[in-house]
Amino acid sequence: MSIRKKLLLSYIGMVLIPMFLFVLSVMMLIGIFLDDIKGINHYYQHDEQNKWVFSFAETFKKRDELFSGIKMVSKYDPERLTDKTFLQNVDKELRSNHSGLLVTKQNQTIFTSAFLKDAHLSKERLRMDKDRNRWEKWIRVKDRFYVIQTQDYHFPDGTVGTVYLFTDTSPLAHFMPKFFPLVLLSLVLVISLTNGFLTYFVSRSIIKPIYALKKAAEQIKEGNLNEKVDVKRKDEIGELSEAFEEMRCRLKESIQLQLQYEENRKELLTNISHDLKTPITGIKGCVEAVMDGIADTKEKLDKYMNMIYKKADDMDHLIDDLFLFSKLDLKRVPFHFENIDIVDYLTDCVDELRFDPNLNGVKVNFPYDAKNGKEPLTVVADREQLRRVIMNIVDNSLKYKQGKTLEIEFELIVGEKDVTIAIRDNGPGMEKEALQHIFERFYRAEKSRNAETGGSGLGLAIVKQIIEEHGGKVWAESQLGKGTTIFFTLKKSNGMK
């Protein structure tokens, strides 16, 4: 679930859950307080009298109906308000609703309910309160609270009277000061606890993985790239964690690659120093021999000059290979790709090799049967660089030839999307351990690094780089005593099937 959805649900929960819990707590408080009122009420002693506590609305409704009748009487038959029998009957019904009447005429009390006498509402207090205009909607007498309603009326002789209806609301009045603070407190507690828990759980689900990312970042800052970020979530933080973990892995690979490059650079300098020092040492030895007069005949002088030339030529080839390899490694060699008929191209290469003086006594074959009428087999390649690949592979076979006649055979294997070219020789072959490294730079299967047999060690490394620039791959197969085969692939031209 996304963080946005979690926050949205938490906001909804912060509204709905407090509302539900608040209503539930209010209902519980009402039940507790009503039971409490019923238990502590010292004014009403019998259950029949206490029933009104649980039906305030019904009590006030019935009282209002009775008082409405009195209002009608005061309006159309005010003389009945002086009839004590009528008033006592009305008062009897009002008393069951904990209400009572007080009737005055010309500011003189003519009827007072027994309910009000028991409540200590004396005539003097009423008169005093009336004179001071202190009649309000409610009054308090000792520990009792009364709601008051009034109705004025006029007698036929012109005198004025007033009917007062008193309703005892003491239980409700005592109930409210305790009830509402608890309701407010329960509301505050419900909101605080609900929002607190929701905030804690939602923030914990966000903060905990953030701390994990922080810890991983601190480990990376200290140089430790092995601290894995393992936050399995399906939200934005999970995506961030995956991106962070990918960054850590790439950074680790980058540093490892940088260290490998540094190691390769050191190895490269070591190998270059060794391979350049060998011919230079030979040249210095020949020059010293000439300078010391050892070459005292023309034949000896020619011999030393030829040796100097050969050593210089070896150095020149090594520098050329090194320069080419460096340019390939830096992607600075321009490639001119074109569609080439690979059958015709290999046929021309084989014919050229057969007339190469360096390959005297070497048999070169290309037994490919091009069927008449078939479309040309074209590949995408750079002619010059492809020729360098073939020549480097052939030169590698020549370096390790033995006393028997060396045979080099070209083979063409046509695939669905590419063409595989195999160059096979019948040389001494090599061990499996050496086969895994022959395309590495400066690697030589001949451990002595003898320039006469081992070469520069860059030939097959250059082959690999050129073929990879063509979008192909290169590999080798070999058996001791049975020769070696180098394979490389080239992509077919567009439109070829």
In tens digits, the chain (497 residues) has pLDDT values of: 565 666 666 667 666 776 777 677 767 666 655 554 444 444 444 444 444 444 555 666 777 787 788 888 888 888 888 888 888 888 888 877 778 878 888 878 888 887 776 555 555 445 545 444 444 465 666 666 777 788 888 877 778 888 888 877 766 555 556 666 767 777 777 777 777 777 766 667 677 777 778 888 888 888 787 877 776 766 677 777 788 888 888 888 888 888 877 887 777 777 777 777 878 888 888 898 888 888 888 888 888 899 898 888 888 877 887 788 778 777 788 899 999 999 999 999 999 999 888 888 899 999 886 554 467 889 999 999 999 999 999 988 888 776 678 899 999 999 889 999 999 999 888 888 888 888 887 666 555 445 454 456 788 888 999 999 999 999 999 988 889 999 999 999 874 44
Token pair listed for 458: 């860059």
Contacts of 261 (CB under 8 A, 6+ apart): none
Instruction: Decide: pTM greater than 0.85.
Output: no
Residue 242 near residue 39 (C-beta atoms within 8 A): no
What CATH number has the domain spanning 334-491? 3.30.565.10
Beta 407-414 vs 363-365: how paired, if at all?
Answer: parallel
Handedness of CA 308, 314, 318, 320 (dihedral sign): positive
Residue 370 has a pLDDT of 59
Distance CA 408, CA 63 (A): 124
Residue 45 has a pLDDT of 41
Identify the burial level of 94 via C-beta atoms within 10 angstroms of its C-beta, where 0-12 means exposed, 13-18 middle and 19 or more buried: buried
Token pair listed for 331: 């992607």
Sheet containing 407-414: give its strands across: 363-365, 407-414, 418-425, 483-491, 474-479
DSSP state of 80: G
Token pair listed for 490: 């080239």
Residue that has been written with the tokens 């906001």 in this structure? 11
Q: Is 495 left (phi over 0), alpha (psi -120 to 50) or beta?
A: left
Distance CA 101, CA 117 (A): 11
What CATH number has the domain spanning 56-168? 3.30.450.220
Token pair listed for 375: 């479309």
Beta bridge partners of 425: 408
Residue 389 near residue 360 (C-beta atoms within 8 A): no
Domain borders along the chain are 56-168, 236-327, 334-491
Identify the burial level of 31 via C-beta atoms within 10 angstroms of its C-beta, where 0-12 means exposed, 13-18 middle and 19 or more buried: exposed
Does 56-168 match 236-327 in CATH topology?
A: no
What CATH number matches the domain at 236-327, 3.40.50.11310, 1.10.10.10, 1.10.287.130, 3.40.50.2000?
1.10.287.130
What SS3 string covers 428-481? CCCCHHHHCCCCCCCCCCCCCCCCCCCCCCCHHHHHHHHHHHCCCCEEEEEECC
Residue 175 has a pLDDT of 57
Distance CA 415, CA 326 (A): 32
Distance CA 144, CA 169 (A): 8
Distance CA 322, CA 441 (A): 10
Distance CA 72, CA 92 (A): 19
